[in-house]
Structure 1
Amino acid sequence: MGSIRTAVLDDAPHIFAIFQQRNAFEQTIRQYQGIGLVDVIEWIETTTDKHPFLVIEYQGDVIAWCSIEPFYGLPAFDSASEISLYVSPAYHSQGLGRKFLSHIENHRMDIGFSHLVAYVYESNKRSQGFFTRQGFELWGVLPNIAQEEYITEDVLLLGREF
């Protein structure tokens, strides 16, 4: 379903809309941090061959997006990348996440990573299950690192070596 392509500036409102539809705790944190449409535009503008920002377009609509970003920012970690992957709720469980991962893995040598890392809120069981099914393992827990007023949550560090 749909085709993968590099994100363009016209995709920003669609990407932002999908980003706003994540789990309730994460949405509270992101709004508190002030992530907005301008931030999404910046994400798209900073895309490189080594750190692509991809979308899946279906019938003229962007229905999912995936970005590959530097993991840590030091040269020693250049072969590791952080993956972010979001699918519009109307298209969950239709293989779009697997489609992104297959595409990224097929282009792994061009992108230049040997490890992918995903940060997932502990309450986001859907993402945990997805990444685990794709061969990611629990590499660490950041206890109570996500905080908003009276709510705290662990963030899991899931990783896969290729």
Structure 2
Amino acid sequence: MTKATINIRRAEASDWETIINIFNEAVAAGIATDESKPITVADREEWFAQFDDRHPLWVVDSDGKVSGWCALEYFSTHPAYTDTAEIAIYIHHGAHRQGLGRRLLAFADQQIKEELHFKTVVAYIYERNQASQGLFKQSGFEYWGHLPAIAKVAGEYRELKIYGKNYPSVRV
């Protein structure tokens, strides 16, 4: 068996449908998103438009097929939060447990340290999503707290756990 070739790159418009399809897998699973029904690329045009050189959207491909994505989103548009980003990672269901999430998070970590220079990165993870909580903990994120019954998804209130990481070498 040959080892897959893994590549991480900036997402392009041609990746958007795949990104949405991967997200919709999480919607169907019911543990990882705020959505209770599938979304479309048109639903997320503004979301795609927010990404820029400091707040990138990356995809990971395995042998040329996009299998996951990682977004460094604006934490807030207020200038006080310029050096803070929110991170999200989604992996295609068929590619779970292949280390792609770990590779994406390590890549994002390296980019934050070397190029993007965020001081703080925050991840919001639903309490049911044990796999993501484990991934972020293993990658040096700390549990910072929770927001109980904060989101109503599919008719029930859910808790968000907050994980964060501070980067001491931020450029001032």
Matched, 1:135 2:140: yes
Deviates more, 1:2-11 or 1:57-66: 57-66
How far residue 149 of structure 1 moved from its aligned partner, in angstroms, is 5.5
Give the aligned CA root-mean-square deviation in angstroms. 1.9
Contact 1:8–1:44 (CA under 8 A) maintained in structure 2: no
Secondary structure of the residue that 2:103 maps to in structure 1? helix
Matched, 1:122 2:127: yes
How far residue 148 of structure 1 moved from its aligned partner, in angstroms, is 3.3
How far residue 121 of structure 1 moved from its aligned partner, in angstroms, is 0.4
**Which residue of structure 1 aligns with residue 10 of structure 2?**
6
> For 1:107, which of 89, 111, 121 is the aligned residue?
111
Gaps of 5+ in 2: 168-172
Number of matched residues?
Answer: 160
How far residue 153 of structure 1 moved from its aligned partner, in angstroms, is 1.1
**Which residue of structure 2 aligns with residue 146 of structure 1?**
151
Contact 1:141–1:155 (CA under 8 A) maintained in structure 2: yes
**Which residue of structure 1 aligns with residue 84 of structure 2?**
80
Cα separation, 1, equivalents of 2:149 and 2:35: 16
Cα separation, 1, equivalents of 2:32 and 2:133: 14
**Which residue of structure 1 aligns with residue 22 of structure 2?**
18
Secondary structure of the residue that 1:20 maps to in structure 2? helix
Q: What amino acid is the match of 1:11?
A: D
TM-score normalised by L of structure 1: 0.88
Deviates more, 1:40-49 or 1:131-140: 40-49
Fraction of identical pairs, as percent:
34
Contact 1:68–1:81 (CA under 8 A) maintained in structure 2: yes
Secondary structure of the residue that 1:94 maps to in structure 2? coil
4+ aligned runs moved over 2 Å, structure 1 = 39-46
How far residue 126 of structure 1 moved from its aligned partner, in angstroms, is 0.7
